[in-house]
Chain A
Amino acid sequence: MPAIQSPATEEIHPDVALVERAKAGDTAAFEQLVRQYERQIFRVAQHITQNREDAEDITQDAFLKAYEKLDQFQGNSKFSTWLVRIAVNESLMRLRKRKTSKTVSMDEDVHTEEGSIPRDFAEWRPNPEQQYNQAELADILRKTIQGLPPGFRSVFTLRDVENLSTEETAEALGLSVPAVKSRLLRARLQLRERLSRYFRKKQEGQPA
């Protein structure tokens, strides 16, 4: 006789079972979570700190912290969002240490008006992938995002690079949803403006 299915139950994220097993002392379950998220955590840390060695340290520290504080994870958010939040905090702390005389926080430099009003109206033709090879393009994209203030860089990275939802981004960064939306708009516009220097359609007679 077929089992009776319960009506329209909310889908449970597979991480929930792994976290429960890890909380009960199952190291293999925690290792599976590490495998799932180590690349993402490394990318987030590298985007925010712009430093590979720091990103490696932060990735290790973030997972260690998560492991030690697993009992405090209540499951109100996704495990991955909780983990990203730990990594973001570690990354901002690392930036603070690097610039001891300056405060680095989610609010630093976000009051700038730069890029909030579009100034460059040139089309991008041909498209960036056609204009540059992969290595050149990656170099341009790295240089350009490096120029954004950390508060904008973090929002753009989580929302547009790592595909977190607006709500998850807000939770991971400890910001309100309207603050995430406002910073995301300005981050996107600033990046667009800066990338236009490389990708704008060349005028006739203008050197490439």
Chain B
Amino acid sequence: MNCTDLLTHLSDYFDDKLTPRLLDEIRTHTADCQHCRVVLDTTHQTISVYKDNEIYEVSTELRERLHGAIMAKCLAAKK
């Protein structure tokens, strides 16, 4: 496996969709390739940092206001 091959398998790697053979090939390649090791690690961190941090907070106040408005519109449409 070379660096370009690794890129094509990157998303499947993070989605746990790789066969054990391909996973082994990636491990062998990254053991020797510092650049790919960094790409793998920082792409993993990219996904995690967005998963773990809610960047658009929905406050209780906003949620209640939204909820009220949604239900008012739906009930008006029902009539």
**Bind each other:** yes
Q: Is the CB of B74 within 8 A of A184?
A: no
Q: Is the CB of B74 within 8 A of A67?
A: yes
Mask for B47-79, Cβ within 8 A of A = 1, else 0?
A: 101111111101000110011011101110110
The winner among B47, B51, B77, B78 for most chain A CB atoms within 10 A is: B47
Instruction: Give the residues in chain B near A163, CB-CB below 8 Å.
Output: 51
Out of A27, A46, A60, A117, name the residue touching B69 (CB < 8 Å): A60
Q: Is the CB of A59 within 8 A of B66?
A: yes
Within 8 A of B (CB), among A63-119: 63-64, 67-68, 117-118
Q: Is the CB of B39 within 8 A of A118?
A: yes
Q: Is the CB of B49 within 8 A of A141?
A: yes
Minimum C-beta distance from B8 to chain A (A): 8
Distance between Cα atoms of A122 and B34 in the complex (Å): 10
Q: Is the CB of B35 within 8 A of A121?
A: yes
Instruction: Give the residues in chain A near B12, CB-CB below 8 Å.
Output: 181
User: Interface size (B, Cβ < 8 Å)?
Assistant: 37
Instruction: Give the residues in chain A near B11, CB-CB below 8 Å.
Output: 181, 184-185, 188
Distance between Cα atoms of A181 and B38 in the complex (Å): 21
Tell me the interface secondary structure of chain B in the complex: helix
Distance between Cα atoms of A187 and B77 in the complex (Å): 39
With known contacts A47-B56, A138-B53, A56–B38 Cβ distance under 8 A: no
Q: Is the CB of A64 within 8 A of B70?
A: yes
Distance between Cα atoms of A195 and B53 in the complex (Å): 14
Is B15 interfacial (CB-CB < 8 Å)? yes
Mask for A19-40, Cβ within 8 A of B = 1, else 0?
A: 0000000010011001100110
Distance between Cα atoms of A199 and B53 in the complex (Å): 15
Q: Is the CB of A134 within 8 A of B42?
A: no
Is B10 interfacial (CB-CB < 8 Å)? yes
Q: Is the CB of B74 within 8 A of A192?
A: no
Out of B42, B50, B66, name the residue touching A196 (CB < 8 Å): B42
With known contacts A123-B41, A185-B10, A60–B73 Cβ distance under 8 A: yes
Instruction: Give the residues in chain B near A196, CB-CB below 8 Å.
Output: 42
Is B43 interfacial (CB-CB < 8 Å)? yes
Q: Is the CB of B51 within 8 A of A161?
A: yes
Out of B42, B56, B69, B77, name the residue touching A67 (CB < 8 Å): B77
- Other than A67-B78, A191-B50, give 8 A-B pairs with Cβ distance below 8 A: A27-B78, A64-B73, A64-B74, A67-B77, A134-B53, A184-B11, A188-B47, A192-B42
What 6 A-B pairs come out closest when comparing CB atoms? Answer: A192-B46, A67-B74, A185-B11, A63-B70, A46-B56, A121-B35
